[in-house]
Amino acid sequence: MVARVVTVAFDGVEARRVDVEVQLVGQNQQTIFTIVGLPDKAVAESRERVRGAFAGIGLALPSQRIIANLAPADLPKEGSHFDLPIALALMAAMGVVAPDALDGWAAIGELGLDGQIARVGGALPAAVAVDGMGLGLICPEANGPEAAWAGDARILAPRSLIGLVNHFKGTQVLRPPEPGAMVEGGVVPDLREVKGQESAKRALEIAAAGGHNILFMGPPGSGKSMMAQRLPGLLPPLTSQELLETSMVWSVAGLIERGTLTRDRPFRSPHHSASMAALTGGGVKARPGEASLAHNGVLFLDELPEYSAQALDSLRQPLETGEIVVARANAHVRYPARFQLVAAMNPCRCGMGGAGRGACGKAPRCQRDYQNRISGPMFDRIDLTVETPPVTAADMALPPPAEGTAEARARVAAARAMAEDRMREAGLDPVVNARAGGELLDRFATPDEAGRALLMRAGEAGGLTARGWTRTLRLARTIADLDGSAGVLRRHIAEALIYRRTTVDAQGDFDRATATRSLGVREEAQTPFVH
């Protein structure tokens, strides 16, 4: 007799059906336990964990050849969550559990040597997948609150193998788990804490309203990281669909504790030593990278030129498509990666750039070489480039600004609501302006004659690429929404062009800094030094 139990294998964040088949062959011979069906090392070790778990609850393996087949055989099987379905199928083959008791159920879980069922990753996407198959899910007790978020799916969450056996025999009843808590995020840093940098605050507000990528460039201590950390406070909470998508990615990565979810948008800030696999996902055992963990949220890359060129250029595709495809010789894995990029960098390696006291003596060559670490196509995908000048003592002595995160968030919400209403009235699915396609731009972002003429002149003079042209229109549309304007006017195009950086203009940065600082030196020379 062949006993069958359904389980899943993870392909990215998708759960694909796997049938676990167990057959007992021969009589009164040495126990031989074989697992076939393209298992990895963790799955192959399941036979020893199953053997130990059976011993922990007082069961012995039969004196027969045990064959466990994981079908389809050409699908790679990874992870320890195959322990429980293999054990259940084996118990059904041994007659410990009635074979029909497992009908209508799928199972995931790792077994301990004492028969306890340990927590595994991916319970939420597994529950969603098996519910679509018309099945219920048996998962570890620690994963029960997480799996319960999958709508009306039937969930059993036993603590141990013996408890599950007693449930199927009718001597114990397992209650369906309740969904975990919906927790609120921590205290959001306030924009009032940022002294000066009014132009950067304006750019941050535009980025939040339209979902645009933004780069802060300035010397150390000018507030670049502070600005980036305050962006999530300006963004609206996750919608129900976005919450499900984001939580499924985090579930596969094993980052959901006791089923607790949050509507706060993710904020990921990897170190600049992160590899390409760390950013995009993959590796020997494919896992979501930082870009996927930032899905529907913010990916902050501090010290942008310090990242490897390979790692940075690997983000070019997801910045356009919103997904990452990890191609390997044996598999293609897809991860969602629709994130908002926020980057920060110094003008050159010494940090100061330009000319003046404490600045780099190798400018502008040092600036040019340092900034050339970032490819032109990567710069082309950044909608706003903002210079953050040094914060002076006069700025620090000022009282806190009158407006903070709450006021800016209200303006961002109004601009986003205006864009959503416009698209819904046209019968279209709402998207942020940064992801508006050609049809949406033609209908809602066509500038007036003066704005079009200005954009044409800027394109001819500055060498805007086709992508740069489109992104400028998207940015202008967001600025118009913040302005409460139904159409895109010349002033909106002009402001959008200010933020566009078509090339790495290190020489221009040097000339501007030189002019500014030389003016300051002349003024200082007229002021007597006071001891």
Residue 10's domain spans which residues?
2-169
Q: 101-136 pLDDT, tens per residue? A: 999 999 999 999 999 999 999 999 999 999 999 999
> Does the residue 86 lie in any domain?
yes
Q: Which amino acid is at 466?
A: A
Kindly state the tokens that stand for 351: 């940090």
> Does the residue 99 lie in any domain?
yes
Judge whether 304 and 279 are in contact, CB under 8 Å. Answer: no
Q: From CA 247, how far away is CA 249, in angstroms rounded?
A: 5
pLDDT at 146 > cutoff 80: yes
pLDDT at 411 > cutoff 70: yes
> Does the residue 329 lie in any domain?
no
Q: How many domains does the chain have?
A: 1
Q: 414-439 pLDDT, tens per residue? A: 999 999 999 898 888 888 999 988 78
**Can you give the pTM of this predicted structure?**
0.88
Output the pLDDT for position 438: 77
Q: From CA 468, how far away is CA 440, in angstroms rounded?
A: 17
**Rg (the chain; Cα; Å):** 29
> Does the residue 292 lie in any domain?
no
Q: 220-255 pLDDT, tens per residue? A: 888 899 999 999 999 999 999 999 999 999 999 999
Judge whether 217 and 347 are in contact, CB under 8 Å. Answer: yes
pLDDT at 171 > cutoff 70: yes
> Does the residue 106 lie in any domain?
yes
Output the pLDDT for position 102: 92
Is the C-alpha dihedral spanning 285, 291, 295, 299 positive or negative?
Answer: positive
Q: On the CB side of 482, how many CA atoms lie within 13 Å of its CA?
A: 27
Check which CATH number belongs to the domain holding 156 and give it.
3.30.230.10
Q: 469-483 pLDDT, tens per residue? A: 999 999 999 999 999
Q: Which amino acid is at 291?
A: A
Judge whether 213 and 341 are in contact, CB under 8 Å. Answer: yes
How does DSSP assign 269-320, residue by residue? ---TT--HHHHH-BTTTTB--HHHHTTTSEEEESSGGGS-HHHHHTTHHHHH
Judge whether 225 and 194 are in contact, CB under 8 Å. Answer: no
> Does the residue 288 lie in any domain?
no
Output the pLDDT for position 521: 37
Kindly state the tokens that stand for 394: 């006069």
Output the pLDDT for position 197: 87
Percent over 90 (pLDDT), the chain: 65
Q: Among 288, 280, 283, which Cα is nearest to 249's?
A: 288
> Does the residue 327 lie in any domain?
no
Residue in the block written with tokens 């020997």: 284
> Does the residue 208 lie in any domain?
no
Range with the lowest mean pLDDT among 87-101, 397-411, 478-492? 397-411
Task: Tell me what the mean pLDDT of segment 196-200 comes to.
Answer: 88
Kindly state the tokens that stand for 343: 């980057």
Percent over 70 (pLDDT), the chain: 90
Give the length of the chain.
Answer: 531
Q: Among 169, 7, 165, which Cα is nearest to 83's?
A: 7
Task: Tell me what the mean pLDDT of segment 331-340 comes to.
Answer: 89
How does DSSP assign 500-518, residue by residue? ---S--HHHHHHHHHHHHH
